Structure 1
Amino acid sequence: MGFLSNLFNSEPQMDDRLEELIGPLKSLLVCSALELPEYRYLDLYHAAAARAGDHAKVIESELMEELTQLLHTGRNQWTVRAIGKANRVPFANGPGSEEFLPNGCFWVYRSGDNSSAFVIRLLRNRVTGKAHLEAAAPSPELAEGIINDIVEASSRNSVYRGKILHLSYSSERRDEYGDVEKQEMLRVLFSPITPVGSADIVLSEQHRALLKRNVIDLATRRELLKANGVPPKRGVLLHGPPGTGKTYACRHLCNEMPEVTHIFVTGSSLANVGAVFSLARLFQPSVVFVEDADLMFNNRDVNMNTGILGELMDQMDGLRVHEAISVVMTTNAIDRMEDALKDRPGRISQCIYMGAPDADLRARFIRHQLRDYDSGHLDIGTLSAETDGASQAFIKEWVFRAVQIGCERLSDEAGAVALQQTDFSEALSEMRLSEDRSAGKIIGF
């Protein structure tokens, strides 16, 4: 160990560098520290750099020792304080983009007249899976104030604010001796979901009005509504058979509220409901989308996740009147949903049934799907009548199948196909070809 200590001590040492930059003020500094989830590292890094200012000296280092020890304790043969070189790793800063940042960084400032100094340190701790933020200043109040300034700015200017997010959660894993092999971690990812504009979705006027009143208006007119005593929060449940547009409706909501943070939660990420709502509070106004809610929040008599169900209801009940957080859930099986969740105003205040479209809506949807094709020879009324009871998902696939059949009349070099009524008749017969009576239900009727 003595050899290793001598080897590391031959390199530049962090405590020596701090002594060089802030001199005798080093012994007067008091530290404050805070641990935050790893996904906040990028925002914290930029907020810390802005708080330190252009005149601060920057030292990139992954040195694990705490800042207070670096400032106030001496070295011994077991202490390694070599500055080293921080690895640079990519952090997503938007959909499809990223930037490389060091795993650890110090910002050191001393005033020109040598009357004051402070140190900010941010470390991405790969052992705990946390972002470790520290500040040292002449008093505890000043050190804590620096921490608070950075945390507030990191939230206010976050790269996640106003974006469509997808959460991924991995639970803690221990070995056979009880030691932690892998820390639990909530990862915040930019979702690949593309918002759906008004021109790209076919909804009934009733559905549009319900979505506007119960979700969109609460975000876009929240100040006016709050001034008149309307809380800017609400729970909405979209229910109905598969393929009837529930997910598209959620994507449409994203388009209609561009300044709102949209958080999509599915699968294992639902295991940490508290972290989901903490994120929603941090980046509010926000909407939490819970897809296929019946898989996790079914009736408590048969629910294997009653603790998570209880946490969800507690979180929804605990939303304060001024918190601009709405929850939108989807389910194909409302009868399996917990009654205390779906039947309690204040948790779920509006249930919206999204079933198979009626004749008028089917005709509009068929025209919408045919907008990029040569469909002048088609009788839309007949096509609508032939798909009575079909879901939007079935009709969409039906159009694709008919176009494929029509393309069989063309050579490989030919251009656009002129669709014929028989293309749709053949496609419909083929898609419904089965002796099993349940097949119609399976494919979307």
Structure 2
Amino acid sequence: MERNGTEVRMGDDSVVTGTEETSEEPYSLDEIDGLFHEFLLAVARPKRREGYRDLTKRLRSHLRTAPGDQPVVKAAYPPYELPNVHLALERWFAVEGRTHELIGMTGSESRGDLTLGEILESANLYDRFVVGAVDYAHLPVSPDDELACVSFGFYLGQEGEERFALLLRGPADEYGRNKVELEVLAADKEFAHRLLADIDALMLEHNIYRGQILSFDGSEFDNGLGPFRFHRRPALTREEIVLPSGLLERVERQVVGVARRRERLRAAGQHLRRGLLLYGPPGTGKTHTVRYLLSHLPEFTVVVLSGTSMGAIGPACRLARMLQPALVVLEDVDLVAEARDHDGGAQPLLFQVLNEMDGLGDDADVAFLLTTNRADLLEPALVQRPGRVDLAVEIPLPDADGRARLLGLYGADLDLGKDITEEIVTRTEGVTASFTKELIRRAVLISAEREADHTETADLRTAVDELLSDRDRLTRRLLGVKHPDDNQDDEDWLIEEDDE
């Protein structure tokens, strides 16, 4: 375009040159509109320079054929499997004779739910996507470790004469896609199927969840990169478990004993699937007993469900079947496994729990460990039918000997004498293990408040007086202890406490 001796060239390498004039006429609206239109075209569709990151050209160069001419084979996995898929690919490519180059992709528009074929078509026809940086997600793979996992990237791979491209794409909430996807582009469709089968085998063999203690985070199960929270395995000794004589041995035989003698049981035609119910008042040590069992099952994969996460019973049992030997812990199972007629209707989640427990084969080395404060509310079919729950064990309130042992356990650093121990045992009949633990903590706090070097018997007496007083009535209830006069139902008691 020329005007008043000035040449204007719009484009990739545009320059503006011209000659000065003493007077210039203003541009017309049509001329301004034309110049602006050329400017927008130059910005929106710049000319390709040498070395332009052409995704289609890059794939064509690697595959030595047009990407659109080759079939695509797909596989999908749950969102929490991204670390396993990533590691399986690394192990697959680490085999001698296999190579790969990892590239990413950027574009002016969202990748959304486009398939690999649609991405290639858009890259070829509309310049929407170009070669860019690989996307990574940093995910936990143990209680202490994280792993940088490819969440969107192309593996341009080669095995012998076989050339292929593989797209790994992790879950992305903003697109409504809650899964991990692999798409293999290869001339030989059977090769693509074999590659994906190899990935599945490697995922199972080297699964990061094997031997871990995991809990489902119910609030995030339907979102994000995974529903799991990793936990360190406890290290509890028998001396730290205070139960009536012979009770812990029964519990160990049902869970740990079967695990240690699985081969002999199988040889004798006996099933390994088992269920154990621990019931009793709150604060008596049911969860503590579970932690002890986990300490002595180091090779077991453990999945813990409680509260809202009970809805994940299906995925939890699938994981247990895949990674056996395994233990599925259902804490406070009465929240979902109440008797069918308790509220006048069926419990859909209860049916799912029962079905999952029944769905395991007799040779499955999977144990179910259930805890409840209200055994009377449990569905009879859950606690009576063999194969669901084979053993129900009450964890009772500690007797006098148990309370003395608990004082010695929690107050080991206080050097409690025989007299004060007997006095506290006598005064605390009917209390829970949680009460004893809080008693010791409060005595230590009282001594700290008076700047004492050590806790004295007077501090213990003060702590007992406080916890047994009417002012701490609610505290006792929260610790699982009933006052001798607490005969009315819970609702009336709460109203009375509130009035006080």
The two structures have a TM-score, normalised by structure 2, of 0.77
Letter in 1 for 2:406: F
Letter in 1 for 2:403: R
Query: Is the aligned partner of 1:80 residue 2:128?
Result: yes
Distance 1:214 1:342 in 2: 15
Paired residues of 2:443 and 2:455 also in contact (CA < 8 A)? no
Question: Cα 1:426–1:14, aligned 2, differ >3 Å: closer, same or farther?
Answer: same
Paired residues of 1:169 and 1:184 also in contact (CA < 8 A)? no
Query: Is the aligned partner of 1:356 residue 2:397?
Result: yes
1:93 aligned residue = 141
SS class of match (2:53): coil
Question: Cα 1:100–1:7, aligned 2, differ >3 Å: closer, same or farther?
Answer: farther
Please, what is the CA RMSD of the aligned residues? 3.1
Distance 1:216 1:268 in 2: 28
How many Å apart are 1:260 and its aligned residue?
Answer: 0.5
Distance 1:365 1:130 in 2: 48
Letter in 1 for 2:372: T
Question: Cα 1:269–1:442, aligned 2, differ >3 Å: closer, same or farther?
Answer: closer
Letter in 2 for 1:239: Y
Query: Is the aligned partner of 1:335 residue 2:376?
Result: yes
SS class of match (2:393): strand
SS class of match (1:88): strand
Distance 1:8 1:403 in 2: 77
Distance 1:105 1:80 in 2: 16
How many Å apart are 1:307 and its aligned residue?
Answer: 1.6
Letter in 2 for 1:405: I
How many Å apart are 1:25 and its aligned residue?
Answer: 8.9
Query: Is the aligned partner of 1:38 residue 2:79?
Result: yes
Distance 1:3 1:280 in 2: 58
1:371 to 405, 412, 433: 412
Which residues of 2 match residues 132-147 of structure 1 at below 5 A? 132-147=181-196
Question: Cα 1:78–1:297, aligned 2, differ >3 Å: closer, same or farther?
Answer: farther
Greater Cα offset, 193-202 or 206-215: 193-202
Question: Cα 1:184–1:401, aligned 2, differ >3 Å: closer, same or farther?
Answer: closer
1:175 aligned residue = none
Query: Is the aligned partner of 1:311 residue 2:360?
Result: no
How many Å apart are 1:427 and its aligned residue?
Answer: 1.5
Distance 1:210 1:79 in 2: 69
Letter in 2 for 1:116: E
1:155 aligned residue = 204
Query: Is the aligned partner of 1:119 residue 2:119?
Result: no
SS class of match (1:357): coil
How many Å apart are 1:374 and its aligned residue?
Answer: 2.9
1:20 to 23, 42, 61: 61
Question: Cα 1:228–1:13, aligned 2, differ >3 Å: closer, same or farther?
Answer: farther
2:466 aligned residue = 430
CA-to-aligned-CA distance 1:239-292 (integer Å, 9 cap, x gap): 100000011111111111011011111122212322221122222211111111
2:26 aligned residue = none
1:292 to 332, 340, 355: 332
2:277 to 223, 230, 237: 237
Question: Cα 1:384–1:2, aligned 2, differ >3 Å: closer, same or farther?
Answer: farther
Question: Cα 1:207–1:60, aligned 2, differ >3 Å: closer, same or farther?
Answer: farther
Question: Cα 1:438–1:101, aligned 2, differ >3 Å: closer, same or farther?
Answer: closer
Which residues of 2 match residues 135-284 of structure 1 at below 5 A? 135-170=184-219, 187-191=227-231, 194-284=234-324
2:12 aligned residue = none
Q: How many residues align?
A: 428
Distance 1:96 1:234 in 2: 32
Distance 1:59 1:355 in 2: 61
CA-to-aligned-CA distance 1:186-223 (integer Å, 9 cap, x gap): 61221367453334332334222122111112323322
CA-to-aligned-CA distance 1:95-121 (integer Å, 9 cap, x gap): 032122332122222346xx3223332
Distance 1:171 1:436 in 2: 37
Question: Cα 1:9–1:385, aligned 2, differ >3 Å: closer, same or farther?
Answer: farther
Distance 1:18 1:436 in 2: 73
Distance 1:310 1:191 in 2: 29
How many Å apart are 1:40 and its aligned residue?
Answer: 0.6
1:107 aligned residue = 155
Question: Cα 1:311–1:186, aligned 2, differ >3 Å: closer, same or farther?
Answer: farther
Greater Cα offset, 399-408 or 312-321: 399-408
Greater Cα offset, 154-163 or 219-228: 219-228
Question: Cα 1:7–1:392, aligned 2, differ >3 Å: closer, same or farther?
Answer: farther
Paired residues of 1:399 and 1:424 also in contact (CA < 8 A)? yes
Query: Is the aligned partner of 1:55 residue 2:99?
Result: yes
Letter in 1 for 2:193: E
SS class of match (2:131): coil
Greater Cα offset, 367-376 or 280-289: 367-376
Letter in 1 for 2:256: I
Greater Cα offset, 185-194 or 368-377: 185-194
Distance 1:338 1:162 in 2: 31
Query: Is the aligned partner of 1:419 residue 2:459?
Result: no
Distance 1:390 1:183 in 2: 42
CA-to-aligned-CA distance 1:12-62 (integer Å, 9 cap, x gap): 233322222231496775432111111110111010121123622222347
Letter in 1 for 2:148: F
Letter in 2 for 1:108: L
RCO greater where, 1 or 2, for CA within 8 Å and sep 6 or more? Answer: 1
Greater Cα offset, 279-288 or 2-11: 2-11
Greater Cα offset, 393-402 or 428-437: 428-437
How many Å apart are 1:396 and its aligned residue?
Answer: 0.8
CA-to-aligned-CA distance 1:294-340 (integer Å, 9 cap, x gap): 11111112456722111111111110112211111111111111122
Letter in 1 for 2:310: L
Structure 1 unmatched runs, 5+: 173-181
How many Å apart are 1:383 and its aligned residue?
Answer: 2.8
Paired residues of 1:5 and 1:80 also in contact (CA < 8 A)? no
Greater Cα offset, 25-34 or 397-406: 25-34
Greater Cα offset, 140-149 or 27-36: 27-36
SS class of match (2:396): coil
SS class of match (1:117): strand
How many Å apart are 1:387 and its aligned residue?
Answer: 1.9
2:489 aligned residue = none
How many Å apart are 1:440 and its aligned residue?
Answer: 5.5
Distance 1:278 1:5 in 2: 50
How many Å apart are 1:350 and its aligned residue?
Answer: 0.9
Distance 1:305 1:7 in 2: 65
SS class of match (2:445): helix
Distance 1:328 1:371 in 2: 31
Paired residues of 1:61 and 1:85 also in contact (CA < 8 A)? yes
Distance 2:219 2:346 in 1: 16
Paired residues of 1:369 and 1:396 also in contact (CA < 8 A)? yes
